[in-house]
Amino acid sequence: MSSVPGYQTDKADVLARLRRVEGQVRGIARMVDEDTYCIDVLTQVSAATRALESVALLLLHDHVSHCVVDAAREGGDEAQHKVDELTRAVGRLVRS
Amino acid sequence: MSSVPGYQTDKADVLARLRRVEGQVRGIARMVDEDTYCIDVLTQVSAATRALESVALLLLHDHVSHCVVDAAREGGDEAQHKVDELTRAVGRLVRS
Amino acid sequence: MSSVPGYQTDKADVLARLRRVEGQVRGIARMVDEDTYCIDVLTQVSAATRALESVALLLLHDHVSHCVVDAAREGGDEAQHKVDELTRAVGRLVRS
Amino acid sequence: MSSVPGYQTDKADVLARLRRVEGQVRGIARMVDEDTYCIDVLTQVSAATRALESVALLLLHDHVSHCVVDAAREGGDEAQHKVDELTRAVGRLVRS
């Protein structure tokens, strides 16, 4: 396993998105604290969920682009291990 | 529309869960900052997504228990409006 | 529990949608049988999944409109039981 | 693009799963036809959705194992194209 993660070149973007999600979640807590109407809170929870999923897709893209593709090029059993690991990660993402 | 939201009695629980999600997202940013392996980051993103979805389910439960049930008891068109609004909110949640 | 389901007036629509999903799934099996490219098969699987979710949303809408609203109007404990049951059903739908 | 899909060796399994989903959807139509209680229908719709998602995960696994890994080993731009295509496919699956 390399010490350089697949998202290395997108690191600033990933961090910026996570900061934004953190702000969204804090904003939702503020809405709840101020007794905002349930459906308006729910809409923001859905938006934050979608934002997290789009971070996941970016991480996934970078992981396959670098970690999986590199393992495939190096040959050996590592590529297959990486594919199994990736499939389980996508499974957790779609929760099937 | 009442000024008391459906989640009134669960407010402390909802706020505690949101604080926890905020902490999870901050923890994920720290993992990214420290170049944690992609799949481990993805696993935590999935966990935070699931935690947000369980907040959504709690809000939904409380909304139907109070806002929708109250509107139904009061009679009139408001109940139907509430049902349509709820269906759209669940639709955003499952993104179908 | 009434012998008339909430989807009574939408029954023909629900059945037509389900027949269409059945046809979609049969079409996907045909694509697989003819060695269609993985990504094209996956795209159709996503489309069928989305179609099933939209059937679920229609059933949910009708269930709340009739079964939950009726139980609320009748008073008693049944409304709360219906709300709990509904929340679990939405939970299975979003799999959180 | 090879004429042999990634799921070649799992083809019988993929087809068997799709036949089963087709049967599940037909069974749901029968439940609706017989006025089965909404929540029981919804439970089966969720089960069929989950079964479709697990077909998607199998296709995805096989696609990365063969098509993406092979493209990576051949070198050139095709690997990157395959990764982008895969990310969009996962995006449709999680609908983010």
3-state SS of A6-62 is CCHHHHHHHHHHHHHHHHHHHHHHHHHHCCCCHHHHHHHHHHHHHHHHHHHHHHHHH
Q: ipTM for the complex?
A: 0.95
pLDDT tens-place string over residues B57-81: 999 999 999 999 999 999 889 999 9
Taking the C-alpha atoms of residue B6 and residue B10, their distance in angstroms, rounded to an integer, is 9
Taking the C-alpha atoms of residue D54 and residue D31, their distance in angstroms, rounded to an integer, is 23
For range A35-39, the mean pLDDT: 98
More confident residue, C3 or A77: A77
- Across C32-41, b (16+ Cβ under 10 Å) vs e yields beeeebbbeb
For chain A, the residue count is 96
Gap from B3 CA to chain D (nearest CA, Å)? 31
Residue B54 has pLDDT above 70, yes or no: yes
- Residue A18 near residue A55 (C-beta atoms within 8 A): yes
> What pLDDT sits at residue B1?
47
Angle between helices C11-33 and C38-63 (to 10 degrees): 170
The band of A3, judged by pLDDT with boundaries at 50, 70 and 90, is confident
Interface contact B57-C90, CB threshold 8 A? yes
B6 DSSP 8-state letter: T
Interface contact D68-A64, CB threshold 8 A? yes
- Residue A83 near residue B39 (C-beta atoms within 8 A): no
Interface of A with D in 23-52 (CB under 8 A): 50
- Judge if pTM exceeds 0.90: yes
> What pLDDT sits at residue D32?
98
- Closest residue by Cα to residue B61 from C82, C53, C96: C82
C17 DSSP 8-state letter: H
Interface of D with B in 56-95 (CB under 8 A): 95
In chain C, which residues have their Cβ closer than 8 Å to the Cβ of B73?
72-73, 75
The list of chain D residues with pLDDT below 70 reads 1-2, 96
Output the tens digit of pLDDT for each of chain C's 96 residues: 457 999 999 999 999 999 999 999 999 999 999 999 999 999 999 999 999 999 999 999 999 999 999 999 998 899 999 999 999 999 999 974
